[in-house]
Each structure stands twice: as structure tokens, then as C-alpha cells.
Chain A
């Protein structure tokens, strides 16, 4: 059975590309174009993991992550952040908000699934 994963990303091109990669990796992708939408979907669908763009219009990725983590049912869902750039204290900021790990854009569709698996496995160790 295909595992549900949630991708929260406002950039449609990136969403499309990452969806191709995840589907190729055997996942069913639920997409959300905004933070609010993503939070609802996460609580409703209880995906296997969530890919979260940090730079979102309106509610940003960090806030969305915090809200998802605040829901008792979703406390342990891996949330992998996507960042456009590395900024000072990024890593700490992301982890503090509740992210499991992160990767940087641009994504390489050929390697992204491996990267995600690495992050989740690291976490589950």
C-alpha cells in the first residue's frame, strides 16, 4: 500500500518536480499550497512524512510546523524542511520549531528521495 506524504509548497514548479520524485519513490503525494492548508491536511490525513517549504506566504513553514506539532496526534510525524538558502542559525531555528531535518533547494529529483530517507532513518535510529 502506498504511503501518504504531504508536501506543503507554494511554488507549483517545485511542487510538480518533487511530486514526480516522490511518486517515483512509491509515495502518494498530498499537496498543500499554503501553511494553513498544510496544517489542516496534516491533521486530517496523518501522512507518513511532511515536506515543508519554509518560505510560504502568510503562515510560514516554521509556524505551520509548530501548529502541526501542537496537535497531539501528529506529534511524531517527520517534518522535513525545504530551505532556499542557509541562514545563520537556520538549523537550530528549524529544529526548535519541530522539524525532523532539512534539505536545501534546489532539489535534485534524482537524489531527493534518498536524502529524505536518510533524514528519516537518522531520526528513527
Chain B
């Protein structure tokens, strides 16, 4: 059945449905009257007949908590603004009005929540509750005031649900806890229940396919479908009509409230109820099951009639349409053909235009025979032939014919192209005038209208070709120059350099012959060939080359050497300058030559000559670069020669260096030996001093001791002369002992072997001791020694300090004839560790000049010649004192003198010898514990 036919079949069915629907709608409207509840209505202000008990209860309970089902539309539901609305809510408004109770809604919209809350008596009244026996344990019920029909709702595309029986095996959305659920499941055990919390959720599940149908109160279903625009849902059937009622459920312990509300409900008039019903339920319209059967029967009958009519109509229409289609096809074919012809014509014109406009010569050959079938206008221009002539020409007529541009070669190219390969190559072509020119040829196979053709395009590339050749040559030349420069830069030996340059010019650049000659400074001013490469064949032997200014010296090489300028001979065959060598040169294929002078320090020492074999000769750029290269070559030769000089200098230097090293080594050896000898001497010196300290002093002591007791006449009287002699022995002995002692001490100090031995002592005692020792020397002179010493305990090397002080006192006594010597002690500094002691020895002696002061502390300095009886002394006293003060006592000796008036010598030293220095000294001593005295 075709599509239009199907539509024709359904049309009357739809009309029929619409008709039947209208009929049943009117019927449903009449049925609505059955649900009018029985109420007692009173006119005007309604008075409810209440018992005294009920009245008194009311006065005690002005506020009652009420629970509305938030998802029980249209009876009670949460509006979009969050308030409870619906039929039950409207009824409660009337009840509130009539009883004077204020109903406070509970904030639990879900049935199961509010039901549980009611059982716990968290709410006093449930607005809508089915009256069931099991609920009476918690609640007291009023009369029913809501009468509900149950209906089945399904999706529009589910067409096979038309009654409760069809629910078997289906998923049905059911509101958990609603009173219809249990009986339904008991009756249809194969139903797959999909439990939800509200009727809206039930409808939603059906709408989205989670359930196939929902069992829902009719009013609620209507209301929700419209409100939420669940357009894909449809009413399938009424399941139970008005079977379900709702009453007000009142908490079980408040039966008085139940009876009050019951009376209040009864007081609502029929009219009021209708009004409220209309507002929330609208007219009740549902298709009953029995009417649906009739409808299907009628629809089928009418459908069959309509099918027959439609079938006839279609048949006649098909016939007519076939005739029309044929006619149309013919017409279209005709138009198509004309169009194709026009297109072909256009294409041909377009092709011809393009073909002729192209700037390449284009040939169309027959792929099998090679015959030229067509050429474009450019071909005629390029080959300077009329089209017909070209069409009858052969490839060879259009080629230069020089190998490899022969007919055979052309055929070969054609064959390859005919095999399907694109061929691109360069070809030497020839036009009608015999002009040969280069073309780039492009050959490809094409199938044109079923025939195999070869399309050949040829483009003249003469100028391009020439430029390319130039470029190639220039590139090659650059490479050559580059190589030459490399050779020059890396050259080690001059002859090698010349050979390499000549060879490179031939192998890399393709010159025919090159040679380098040096100018001889002999009588004939000949040019001596130094290096050569290329095609020579005895050329140089055949000619006498000179740079003398005469006939044979006027050739390019001679001229170049003589003038220092490059000489270019562009054409050997015609250049008169080249006449003497022309024959030999031409015999060897030289066509042009250039001679380039080799110049070093403004002096021409030779020339590089180059001969080419091709008629192009040298171009300007080439000449310029060759000149540059030759300059580099000259420079390279020069630097090689310098390098040779430098090398010899370097080798000489190297020899010097080696010699120096030898010298240094020798000197080092000598020094080491000397050092060794010095160490040995030092050791011997130490040994000598050690010996002196004991072996020398012992006999001296005997000399001094025995001479002194003799002189003192202990062993009997001696005469005056004997006494004098004994005195000389005694003094000489004492002098020698003092000298030895001083030398030993100095040696010790200088060798760092004198150790400081700090002890604590009283300064005054030390000064007295020093005075006692020194004043022995006063003899019979009138010298008074006084002391001004503070009470001070010192901690330093007592023995050495005593030695120093005795030295100063001895000096003072020595140089003072008469007067007084004063010893003054001064302590400065507050902190004990930093206290400084000054022991000044003032004398009224001869004094010291400034120039003498400068040499005062030098060894063996005596202000008077030794042996002078007036001023005995070793000349080491002050030197040693200074040394001991600085090295051992961490102090110094100061001198202040006025000649003729006297001197002040000062020992300046720390009261306490610094510990660190002491320790350091101790360490040093322990290192070298070979004190000579031991």
C-alpha cells in the first residue's frame, strides 16, 4: 500500500475518533452529578450544632496543627510559592471559618513523613486520609469529603494498555502507602511495582520511560499532566470509579475535634462543594472500555469502504501520470542533447583559445605513429613555419640534429612518454631559418576521446641556459679560488704550494695549462719554471722566456714580471704580442692566456701564467678573482719564507732555553751543594759553640781564679810589678770570658735557641743584684748609684733581664768618670696583664752623639778601639741586650743622650711576659733541643 493510500485509510478513522470523543465527553459531564456529597446546608452564616463538651474543647484548643499532603493535587499540594493549595485546603478554610480554629500547616509535604509524624502526634490533624480499619488505632476519622476515581495513565506510544488487565507484567508506578496499592498488587501479581513518593513522581517515571503506566487518582492525573505539560502521557482507562474516599484523620485522643470537624463538614452546602470541585477537578472525562470496542469496530468498517474508493482513484491517476512522464522524459532528453552540444562547442572554443594563447609550443602527437596531429600558434612562431608545414614535418626537421639531439633520440623520448612516463628534458631545436636554440621539452601521454596522444610542450630556454652555464662556471670558479686559498693557508713548503696551486687550477677549473715561473736575476733575466700542471707537451721547453725588455720579453709572462701588472691575452690567434709563441700555443689548443705577477714587498719575483682552451677565454670577474688569488699566493709564499726564518729563530731559542735549563739545573745543584756545606758549617758552628761553652770557659775560669788569688796575696806577698802583671792576666781572662759569654748568647738568640724561662720575682731585688754585680767595676771612682724602684712583682725571664740591666749599668759605669747613676723604675698601664715596666739607667757620663746612636746596637761596634783600658768591653753588650730585650723579653732598649751631659738607657718590657709568646718559644725550644750549652 503506498503512502497516500495509507493516509486515506486513516483519515476517516481520525474523524470517527473525534466524533466519538465528543459524544462521550457530554456523557461524562452528566455522570459528574453522581459525586455530589450529602451535606447539611444552612443559609447565611452557618451555625454548627455543637455539644457543650465540644464547645469547651474548642475554647481550650484555638490552634490545631494540620498536615496537608504536599503532592496530592488537586486535593492538596505545595504551590510554586511554597504554600499549600488545593481542594482540601479550600475545605479547611471553610472549616476554620466555621469552627473558629486556626489551622497551622505542618512543614512535611511527603505523605510518608507526615503520616509518621501524625502517628507520633507531632501533628493533630491529617487533612486527607483514607479511612481504614488499621489506622483507627491512631486516628479518629470524619465523614469522607473527597471521592476519587482511580485511572491508568500511560505514554502515548504505548498503545496496548487499555485496561487493568493490560498492566500484567508491566512496570507500574505506584505511590508508596496509598490505599489502592495493596489490593492492586493482590489482584495483578505480575505487575512490576515502581514505588515512588508522589503522584507527580509516578507520572514523571512514566513520562521518561522508567515505568510503563501509573495508577493515579483521576483529578490528580489531569491536574499534573496539564500543570507539568507531560504531553507524551495519555489516559488509558479508568481503573476504579469513585471507590476511594478521603476523610480528615484526627489524632486518636482528640475524638471531640473529630466530631466537631465532622459536623463542620456536614455543614458545607452542596453548592459550595460543587464550586470547589469545579475549581479543582473540572469535568470528569474518561473513555470507558466498552465504548472503545465499538469505536474500533466502526473505524474498521468505514476504513474498508474508504480503502476501496481510494484504490480506484489511485489506479486511474497512475495511468495518466505514466503518459505524462514519458512525454517529459523525451522532452528533457532533447534539451539535454542540445545542451551537451553547446557545451562541447564552448569547450572546443575554449580549448582552442587556450591552446593558442599558451606561450609554449605545443605539439599533439599520435602516440602510436608519432605523427604530429596538431600544434598551437606559438609553435608556428617558434619554428617560424606555417601550421600545415609543421603538421607534415618530422621531429628531425625541428631539431638541431647534432648528437644527441637526433631523430633516434627524439623517437626514444617519445617511446618513453608513450609508455606513460612524464618526460622532461632539454633539447636543441632548430627553426625554419636554421637557427639552433635550446628548449625545455615536456612530454606526457594523454587519452583524448579514446585515442592515445602525446602532448609535447617546448619552451625556449636559450637565455636561461646561458645564464645557467655562467652560474655554473662562476660557482666552479669560486670553488677553485676557495681551494686555492685553502692550499695557501695550509701550505708548509713553498715548492709544494706552487705545485698544488698549478694542479688545482687545472683539475678544479679545467684550465688547459698553468705554470709558475720565478724571475732569475741573471744576465739573461730568464724566467725559471718552478711548477706546472695541465696540458704542456714540452711547451715550456720550446720557448725561451725572459722578463728582459726586448722582443722575447714582451710576452705576457715577461711583461707581467717586468711591469708587476696582470697581462691578459684574449685571443692567442690574433694577439700580436703573442706572435713568438703562437704556433706552439695553438698547437696545444691554448686560445687565451693570462699572466699574473707574484709580488712581495713591492718586488716582483715571478708570475703565474694560465692558458685556457675554450674560446670564451677569461671573463672580467674571473680575471679579477685570479688577480686576488695571485696576491694571496704571493702573500702565502712570503709568509712561508718568513716562517722559515722564524722557525730557525725558534729552534735557536729552544736551544737557548734548553741550555738555560741546564744552567739552572747546574746552578741548582751547586746551590744545593753549597746549602749542604752551609748546613754542615752551621752544625760545626753549633758544635764549636757548645764546646766553647764548657771546654773554653773551664780553663779560663782557672786563669781568672788563680790569678785573682795570687794578686790578692792569699798565698804570700807579690811585688808591685808582679801584681801589675797578674792584673793584666786577670783582666785579659775576664775580657775573654765576657767575650765568649756574649758570643754564645748572641749565637743562641740568633739561632732561636735561647729559651725564655719566666719566673716570678721582686723587681727591687733584681735591681739590687744587678747593682752589686756591676758596681765591682766602679773601682776607686766616685760614682754613686741610687735606685727608685716601685714595689713590683714581675713574671718574666729574671736571668736575662738581670743580664740586660747589668749590661746597661756596666756601660753607664764604664763611661762615667764621676757623678751618679740613677736607676728608675716606672710602671704604666692599668691592667695587670698589660702593664709595661720601664727601667731607666741615667748616667752623667760622656754621652753619645746622634750619629753614634745609629750604630750603637750593631755588633762589634765600639765607640773606642778595643784594648783601650779606659773603656773595656766586647762591643757586643748593647747588641746582645737589644737582641734579648726584643727576642726573649718582648721588649726593647731605648736610648736618649746628650753628649757631654749623659745618657739615659731604658729597658722597656711587659711586667708579665706574654704567655703566647712564651709558649711559642717553648715549643720552638722543644723542636730544636740541641742547646749548645748542654
B-contacting residues of A (Cβ < 8 Å)?
Answer: 11, 13-14, 17, 20-21, 24, 84-88, 105-110
Contacts and interface: CB of A to CB of B under 8 A. Distances in A.
B705 A109 contact: yes
B507 to A, nearest CB: 95
B737 interface: yes
A88 B757 contact: yes
Given A85-B934, A87-B934, A106-B737, A17 B709 contact: yes
Given A11-B698, A88-B757, A106 B704 contact: yes
B709 A20 contact: yes
Most A CB contacts (10 A, CB to CB) among B698, B701, B704, B715 go to B701
B712 interface: yes
Size class of the B contact interface (CB-based, 8 Å): 20 to 34
A86 B799 contact: yes
Contacts of A13: 698, 702, 706
A87 B694 CA distance: 14
B701 A109 contact: no
B697 A106 contact: yes
B711 to A, nearest CB: 10
A110 B755 CA distance: 31
Contacts of A86: 799
A17 B702 contact: yes
A106 B715 CA distance: 20
Contact of A108 (B702, B708, B757): B708
Interface in B281-308: none
B933 interface: yes
Given A87-B934, A106-B701, A20 B694 contact: no
Given A84-B694, A85-B693, A110 B712 contact: yes
A107 B701 contact: yes
A107 B705 CA distance: 7
A111 to B, nearest CB: 9
Given A17-B702, A24-B714, 13 more contacts: A11-B698, A14-B702, A17-B706, A84-B694, A85-B694, A87-B933, A87-B934, A88-B755, A105-B697, A109-B705, A109-B709, A109-B714, A110-B712
B930 to A, nearest CB: 13
B700 interface: yes
Nearest to B929: A88
A99 B453 CA distance: 145
Contacts of B755: 88
B799 A108 contact: no
15 contacts: A17-B702, A17-B705, A84-B694, A85-B694, A85-B933, A88-B755, A88-B757, A105-B697, A106-B701, A106-B704, A106-B737, A108-B704, A108-B708, A110-B708, A110-B709
Contacts of B934: 85, 87
A86 B933 CA distance: 9
Nearest to A106: B701
A85 B697 CA distance: 11
Contacts of B694: 84-85
Interface of B: 693-694, 697-698, 700-702, 704-706, 708-709, 712, 714-715, 737, 755, 757, 799, 933-934
Nearest to B706: A17
B707 to A, nearest CB: 10
A108 B693 contact: no
Most B CB contacts (10 A, CB to CB) among A13, A86, A107 go to A13
Contacts of A110: 708-709, 712
Nearest to B799: A86
B295 to A, nearest CB: 145
Nearest to B701: A106
Most B CB contacts (10 A, CB to CB) among A11, A24, A106, A107 go to A106
A84 B700 CA distance: 13
Contacts of B715: 20
A108 B934 CA distance: 22
A106 B698 CA distance: 7
B537 to A, nearest CB: 107
A33 B97 CA distance: 155
Most A CB contacts (10 A, CB to CB) among B697, B705, B714, B934 go to B705
What 8 pairs across the A-B complex have the smallest Cβ distances? Answer: A106-B701, A17-B705, A13-B702, A85-B933, A109-B709, A109-B705, A20-B709, A24-B714
B705 A108 contact: yes
Nearest to A17: B705
Contact of A14 (B693, B700, B701, B708): B701
B799 A20 contact: no
Contacts of B697: 105-106
Contacts of B714: 20, 24, 109
A88 B934 CA distance: 11
A29 to B, nearest CB: 14
A20 B701 CA distance: 15
A108 B701 CA distance: 8
A60 to B, nearest CB: 14
A58 B307 CA distance: 164
A109 B708 contact: yes
A17 B700 CA distance: 13
A17 B737 CA distance: 18
Nearest to A16: B706
Given A84-B694, A85-B933, A88-B755, A105 B701 contact: yes
Contacts of A85: 693-694, 933-934
B799 A106 contact: no
A109 B934 CA distance: 25
A21 B933 CA distance: 27
Nearest to B697: A106
B705 A106 contact: yes
A109 B701 CA distance: 10
Contacts of B709: 17, 20-21, 109-110
A21 B799 CA distance: 26
Contacts of A20: 709, 714-715
A25 to B, nearest CB: 11
Given A17-B705, A24-B714, A88-B755, A106 B933 contact: no
Contacts of A108: 704-705, 708
A13 B703 CA distance: 10
B743 to A, nearest CB: 15
Nearest to A86: B799
Contacts of B702: 13-14, 17
Most A CB contacts (10 A, CB to CB) among B700, B702, B737 go to B702
Contacts of B712: 110
Contacts of B708: 108-110
Contacts of B693: 85
A78 to B, nearest CB: 21
A110 B707 CA distance: 11
Contacts of A88: 755, 757
Contacts of A105: 697, 701
A24 B693 CA distance: 29
Nearest to A105: B701
Nearest to B700: A106
B861 to A, nearest CB: 27
Contacts of A14: 701-702, 705
A117 to B, nearest CB: 14
B919 to A, nearest CB: 14
A59 to B, nearest CB: 20
A36 B702 CA distance: 26
A118 B478 CA distance: 116
Contacts of A17: 702, 705-706, 709
A101 B708 CA distance: 25
A88 B694 CA distance: 17
Contacts of A87: 933-934
A86 B712 CA distance: 29
